[in-house]
């Protein structure tokens, strides 16, 4: 294992076989507090809100109300999945 000095929070793992040869190198991203890669299905679900329905969900105009509707639906879905009330779910 070695730290990548150019990228804080990135580790390079080297797997060595019995002959001492590097057989596989894997990068481990360990700075998820700053940002994290999203799963492809998350990107697909969020893409309309990044490109078409990007309005402020706190606003009263229609572009914002679409986002507010989606946030409230996500809040209900998450609450049901974990046995909470929708008003107990906060997105930050």
- For the entire predicted model, the pTM comes to 0.58
**Token digits of residue 65:** 């109300």
- Residues 6 or more apart whose CB falls under 8 angstroms from that of 75 comprise 86, 89, 91
Q: Which DSSP category does 38 fall into?
A: P
At residue 65, the 3 state secondary structure works out as helix
Could you read off the pLDDT of 56-90 as tens digits, one per residue? Answer: 999 888 888 888 999 999 999 999 999 999 999 99
Contact call for residues 22 and 14 (beta carbons, < 8 A): yes
């Amino acid at each position: 294992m070695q730290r990548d000095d150019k990228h804080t929070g990135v580790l390079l793992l080297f797997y060595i076989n019995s002959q001492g040869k590097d057989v596989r190198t894997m990068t481990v991203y360990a700075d998820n507090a700053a940002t994290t890669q999203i799963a492809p299905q998350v990107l697909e679900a969020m893409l309309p809100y990044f490109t078409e329905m990007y309005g402020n969900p706190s606003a009263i105009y229609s572009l914002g109300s679409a986002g507010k509707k989606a946030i409230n639906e996500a809040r209900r879905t998450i609450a049901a999945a974990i046995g909470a009330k929708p008003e107990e779910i906060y997105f930050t």
